[in-house]
Structure 1
Amino acid sequence: MRPIDLAREHGLSAQAIRNYDDAGVLPPAERSDIGHRRYTPLHAQALRAFLALRGGHGHQQALEIMRAVNRGDTESAYRLIDAAHVALQAERDTRAEVAAALDSLSSAPAPVRGRPLTVGELARRLGVHPATLRTWEAEGILHPDRDRATGYREYGPDCVRDAEIARQLRRGGYPLHQVARFVESLREAGGADALSTFLDSWRDRLAARSRNLLAGAAQLDAYLVLL
């Protein structure tokens, strides 16, 4: 087969096939007397495997997997694949923690108006010791501003909201690292309602990546059978 024969199946150009060949996606190909590359069904399956792997692993990692397989180092290829699944599981666990924390909130904190609160005022509002607020700050849960003149901490509306959420979650038994993850996700999403929508789309993205990893594994397995 010629480069264009491999390319047509995927809507690629012949030059793209040559580039993938040079990058190590394909196993070594024979050359004709005048230097043209000659491909076989083995090369066609290698290309299918790479393109499928790319959907779940991304371009660079898919490239590294194929390079490892083509040089006979399947152990390295398996390690890369395993690492992707471990990372996906960790992300899935994080999403589950954030979703559970959102469900556990009894109510959204009422917005705070007026001047920022001092550490003592916020501590009294929450019924906690000021040292607790400093611990939450050290864990990344709170990010108070500082008064330019005195250097004292100032807790504005967003910071008070985060502190009240942290108090609810801590009373529910959540460890500090999970509270920090939830509050950070809440900030990035822009509020509880937006976070709920974000969690739905996050779940869909995780499911799609799981399917892509499975599809890539199936095509790679078909390639390994041919080697």
Structure 2
Amino acid sequence: MDGQASSRRGPLRSIDVARESGYSVQQVRDLERLRVIPPATRSAKGYRRFAAIHVQALRGYRGLAQATGPVVARRVLAELRSGTIAQAAAAISEVHAGLGRERAQALRAQEALRAIEAEATASDGGRAGDAMTITELAAALGVRPSTLRYWEQEGLVNPERVTSLRARRYGPATIGEARIVAALRGSGYGIPAVREITATLHRLEGVEETRRILDRRLDQIGARTVALLRAGADLAAVVEAVQEPTTATA
């Protein structure tokens, strides 16, 4: 199937594009309406006439959608078709960078999990000097203190309170949990999902379950990255077609 569209010289029908891109005929029409692919030309009888670039745009869109979701994929495709090569390269680079940030966040969550395990096995359970104030912890996580308060309201992070002013202080174990929360939120997890994951830390074998969740997250990011890499040649063709407008209506 790969390469068939690029080797055909004549115009392609909707069913041809659907077959070679893996979408249904209706999906092809919907994606044309959403401007994911260039508009098709029309025959004298009004039938749609597609070209190889339409198949490549659809394949590129599929990889982008798997990597970033359909909303972002539509936006990036529009940028690729309307900007310069430099702008197109920047848009794709940002997708790769976003996946890299998600991977880094998940890896930091794993590091925090290992820290929690080490803390659990320590004989003294952590020293008082290891605690942080809310300002210190917020700075360490790169978030606002108000974000930590919000997480507390949602039951994600529970600080220890000391002094008559009830100032928040976070012990080593709580700091580790906060790092996991920050990493999960940074990787796109919603509050309910984060709450479920962090709750496992307090149950029997919870650490192991959290480790499996984080491992699955890294596998998912890896699969999304591979999907984006596979789409690379088709996305490059879309960018090149912008420099030769007649290609899209051949």
* TM-score, normalisation: structure 2: 0.62
CA contact (8 A) 1:24 1:70 kept: no
Q: Among 153, 171, 181, which residue is 1:163 paired with?
A: 171
What is the letter of the counterpart of residue 180 of structure 2? F
Q: Which of 102, 106, 113 is 2:118 aligned to? A: 106
Distance across 1 between alignment mates of 2:172 and 2:218:
27
1:199 counterpart = 2:204: no
Task: Name the CA distance, whole Å, in 2 between partners of 1:18 and 1:25.
Answer: 10
CA 1:133/1:11 → structure 2, altered by over 3 Å: closer, same or farther?
A: closer
Partners of 1:137 and 1:6 lie apart in 2 by: 54
Contact 1:54/1:216, CA 8 A, preserved across alignment: no
Q: CA deviation at 1:187?
A: 5.7
Post-superposition offset of 1:48:
1.7
Match of 2:72 in 1: 61
Q: Is the 8 A contact 1:109 1:164 kept in 2?
A: no
**Maintained 8 Å contact 1:64/1:77:** no
Range moving further from structure 2, 131-140 or 190-199:
131-140
| Distance in 2 between residues matched to 1:199 and 1:54, nearest whole Å | 22
- Identity over the aligned pairs, expressed in percent? 31
Deviation at 1:201, TM superposition (A): 1.0
The correspondence for 1:80, drawn from 91, 99, 116, is: 91
- Over 3 Å counting, the alpha-carbon distance change for 1:87 and 1:41 in structure 2 is closer
Q: Which letter maps to 1:204? A: D
Q: Which runs of 5+ in 1 are unaligned?
A: 111-124, 170-178
Supply the distance in 2 between the matched residues of 1:3 and 1:197 (Cα, whole angstroms). Answer: 43
Kept after mapping to 2: 8 A contact 1:68/1:74? no
Cα distance in 1 for residues equivalent to 2:83 and 2:21: 26
Q: Structure 1 residues 103, 51: CA separation in 2 closer, same or farther (over 3 Å shift)?
A: same
Q: SS in structure 2 opposite 1:106? A: helix
**Cα distance change, pair 132–12 in 1 and its aligned pair in 2 (3 A):** closer
Match status 1:208 vs 2:223: yes
State the match for 2:142 in structure 1: none
2:191 alignment counterpart: none
| Cα distance change, pair 79–165 in 1 and its aligned pair in 2 (3 A) | same
Secondary structure of 2:38's match? coil
The 5 A counterparts of 1:34-45 are 34-45=45-56
Deviations 1:139-168 (A, max 9, x none): 53853599xxxx97599xxx9xx734157x
Using a 3 Å threshold, how does the CA distance of structure 1 residues 108 and 188 change in structure 2: closer, same or farther? farther
| CA distance 1:221–1:183, change in 2 (3 Å) | closer
SS, match of residue 231 in structure 2: helix
The residue aligned with 2:8 is none
Q: Who is 1:118 aligned against?
A: none
Q: Which residue of 1 aligns with 2:38?
A: 27
Structure 1 9/134 Cα, relative in aligned 2: closer, same or farther at 3 Å?
closer
Q: Aligned partners of 1:99, 1:31: CA distance in 2, in Å?
A: 54
Hey, what's the Cα distance between the residues in 2 that align with 1:225 and 1:76?
12
CA distance in 1, matches of 2:160, 2:69: 39
Corresponding pairs, count: 194
Which segment is superposed worse, 99-108 or 45-54?
99-108
